[in-house]
Amino acid sequence: MNMRLRANRSYAPLLRWLPIVGVAFLLALLPACKGGGDDSGGSDPLSCMLNTSFDAPSHATGTVTLQTYSNPCGELNLNVVFTGVSNIFTVGFDITYPSGTFSFNGFTQGPLLKQGSPATPPYFSVTETSPGRIAVFASRFSPDGSVSVTGETFLLTLRFTAVMIGQGPIAFDLSSTPVQEQVLNDSGSAVAVTFVNGSNLARIF
């Protein structure tokens, strides 16, 4: 009996250190989760424990869709893709998303409106007007003319960060309010284009 008691006491200092060693191990892992490569400054390390996915719609000629760009480290990055659209000068639309599941983490300009090295850099306004709603407005300036897409290219990338496990659609709000989905040419006339949603189901798991 005495021998067992002495053996148990000999492990006591080690047992006191185990929680500290465990915390240190987790802290060492967290920096490896951080993202980077854009102006967002990287992801929240804790969000790296969550995975994301997005059911993108099919995209045909004359459409604007949301397509997955990349999903590093608990993020969901979606490109606003134009496929076979001509005479693009000004673009406006709004997007809704499940704000309890994702947080909006900013945007990155795409190449669409920068074609032809315009004399004046294109204007971009991307605003979260209320929780779960983003209004987007982008335009070139005269005398720079309209641009066209024969294949596909993207206007911008919207960045979302995983908040908690769940799902919901990230999609164009196709109603005419508060922002009407439209594309205008350099004369201010509407361009024939369709903003397309599929299920657009975004998941965090």
Per-residue pLDDT for the chain (205 aa), expressed as one digit of tens each? 444 434 444 434 433 433 433 433 333 333 333 333 344 445 455 556 788 999 999 989 999 999 998 777 789 999 999 999 999 999 999 999 999 999 999 999 999 999 999 999 999 999 999 999 999 999 999 999 999 999 999 999 999 999 999 999 999 999 977 899 999 999 999 999 999 999 999 999 8
Name the segment(s) of the chain with CATH classification 2.60.40.680: 45-204
Q: What pTM was estimated for this model as a whole?
A: 0.78
Q: In what order do the strands lie in the sheet with 52-54?
A: 52-54, 201-204, 166-169
Report the chain's terminal Cα–Cα distance, integer Å.
51
Domain topology for 45-204? Immunoglobulin-like (2.60.40)
